[in-house]
Amino acid sequence: MSFRIEKDTMGEVKVPSDKYWGAQTERSRNNFKIGPSGSMPLDIVYGFAYLKKAAAFANHELGVLSEEKRDLIAKVCDEILNRQHDSQFPLVIWQTGSGTQSNMNVNEVIANRAHEIAGNTIGEGEKTIQPNDDVNKSQSSNDTFPTGMHIAAYKKVVETTIPGVTQLRETLHKKAQEFAEVVKIGRTHLMDATPLTLGQEFSGYVSQLDHGLNALKNTLDHLSELALGGTAVGTGLNTPKGYDVLVAKYIAEFTELPFKTAKNKFEALASHDAIVESHGALKQLAVSLNKIANDIRMMASGPRSGIGEIIIPANEPGSSIMPGKVNPTQCEALTMVCAQVMGNDVAITVGGTQGHYELNVFKPVMAANILQSAELLGDACVSFDINCAAGIEPNHETIKTLLNNSLMLVTALNTKIGYYKAAEIANTAHKNGTTLKEEAINLGYVTSDEYDAWVKPEDMVGSLK
């Protein structure tokens, strides 16, 4: 491998000749060899590309950057957004907590690629575009990284999470309507309870996802506020007047999303409550989805020696030793995703507490975790929808058998003969292995006709709507 010499304020560094990055990126590569994985998410890089392009346009409009330099920076940013340079961003999450090295990685790649576009050889002559003075003009890592975080997280939530959860929500809503008159036994404490319909049960899942989606959407306004323009500590030092509003306008234009400048740049740099808030909504969805997936796999358990009230699609063999075994793999995948999201929430919560004076120094790990959670939830919901939820069907025979065998149907007699007599009927039937009707008649509390008139599961479910 051949190398070229790059310089920064600490001196010279050898950099692979076929790479666009410079000295600060190479130093970070050598100083933070932590873990076999943990690369900075490319979504953050793309967020930087949007903001660097917007900064170039704002700086030019405000008279502090030439048109030629603006256009060169913008051209490279467009190449980055077209994923032409993904291999040029090798840094890991585990670096400085401000994300300075990733900011400089982007600055250096843009500068060297712009030098090349201008017809020059990288490493020879003065750079056409300077990483700090031009690409990073009117910026600090302290306001660029949180801006990149917000752009990336907002895009991931609206482009992946919300559509994925909504797709599953619509399928569950359709199933709730289809199953509206399928009367089954209810369960509380994992024990038999009074009847409800399968549709009512599924309507609860729909409501959970509605609340989760609403909570997530309500966080977007805070997430749309950008720190750019605060520079080092929030004061906006070294920015031209009106830069913060103008650069946010350009970011909104380039992303086609409603970004705006943060109302308070000190909060935007020193705390990341918007990330904590948004991930809290993602965690809420994870909690809901975990309950839904667990309910479905327990209702589908069996198929002959479990509950077996519903039938889920058989997607692949479930055992390397037990022929014919099929497992609820989509439920398992979804609940593992939920566990990961809940774990990510702990990391983000801890990260949110690390705002000391004018800067939060857990930016990279917070960014990586919210992006992972947002993507995992969206993708997992689509997978669960296509490969499980859409194919769920009631097992009518088993549902009827379990319903009629339940002792909790006796609850219908409470208002007729009282709680204590009804309990005696249930306890006696359980002890003797007989039916509720048999013991109700044997104990002399009701007649056969009275029992048939009063104990009707379909009348115990309330409204079917």
pLDDT tens figures, 4-14: 999 999 999 99
List, for residues 409-426, the tens digit of each pLDDT value.
999 999 999 999 999 999
- Whether residues 189 and 220 fall in one domain: yes
Structure confidence at residue 178 as a pLDDT band (50, 70, 90): very high
Show which of 137, 163, 186 is a domain's final residue. 137
| Residue 301 assigned ligand-binding role | no
Question: Residue 321 pLDDT > 80, yes or no?
Answer: yes
> Domain range spanning residue 436?
407-459
Structural tokens at position 210: 């509605």
User: 465 or 44, which is more confident?
Assistant: 44
3 found inside a domain: no
Average confidence (pLDDT) over 18-33: 97
Structure confidence at residue 35 as a pLDDT band (50, 70, 90): confident
List, for residues 324-371, the tens digit of each pLDDT value.
999 999 999 999 999 999 999 999 999 999 999 999 999 999 999 999
Average confidence (pLDDT) over 245-255: 98
User: Shortest CA distance to 228 belongs to which of 213, 238, 218?
Assistant: 238
| Residue 106 assigned ligand-binding role | no
- Whether residues 248 and 360 fall in one domain: yes
* Claim: this prediction has a pTM higher than 0.95: yes
| Residue 98 assigned ligand-binding role | yes
List, for residues 110-151, the tens digit of each pLDDT value.
999 999 999 999 999 999 999 999 999 999 999 999 999 999
| Residue 448 assigned ligand-binding role | no
User: 464 or 15, which is more confident?
Assistant: 15
- Whether residues 219 and 343 fall in one domain: yes
8 found inside a domain: no
User: Where residue 56 sits, what CATH number does that domain have?
Assistant: 1.10.275.10
- Whether residues 128 and 151 fall in one domain: no
| Residue 100 assigned ligand-binding role | yes
* pLDDT for position 395: 98
Catalytic residue positions, numbered:
189, 319
Q: For residue 361, give the amino acid letter.
A: V
Residue 314 to residue 172: CA distance in whole angstroms: 19
Residue 223 to residue 47: CA distance in whole angstroms: 13
Q: Is 231 exposed, middle or buried (0-12, 13-18, 19+ CB in 10 A)?
A: buried
6 found inside a domain: no
Peptide bond into 323 cis (omega under 30): no
| Residue 325 assigned ligand-binding role | yes
The helix/strand/coil state of 194 is strand
Question: Residue 465 pLDDT > 60, yes or no?
Answer: no
End-to-end CA distance of the chain: 70
Question: Residue 464 pLDDT > 60, yes or no?
Answer: no
Average confidence (pLDDT) over 235-252: 98
User: Where residue 253 sits, what CATH number does that domain have?
Assistant: 1.20.200.10
List, for residues 212-231, the tens digit of each pLDDT value.
999 999 999 999 999 999 99
Looking at the structure of the chain, the number of domains it has is 3
136 and 238 in contact (C-beta within 8 Å)?
no
230 found inside a domain: yes
User: Where residue 423 sits, what CATH number does that domain have?
Assistant: 1.10.40.30
Report in angstroms the alpha-carbon separations of 292 from 117, 180, 377, 444: 53, 18, 14, 43
- Whether residues 312 and 434 fall in one domain: no
Question: Residue 1 pLDDT > 90, yes or no?
Answer: no
Average confidence (pLDDT) over 429-450: 97
Strand 355-356 versus strand 191-197 pairing type: unpaired
* pLDDT for position 300: 98
Structural tokens at position 277: 């808030």
| Residue 219 assigned ligand-binding role | no
**What are the two backbone dihedrals, phi and then psi, of residue 187, each rounded to the nearest 5 degrees?**
-140, 130
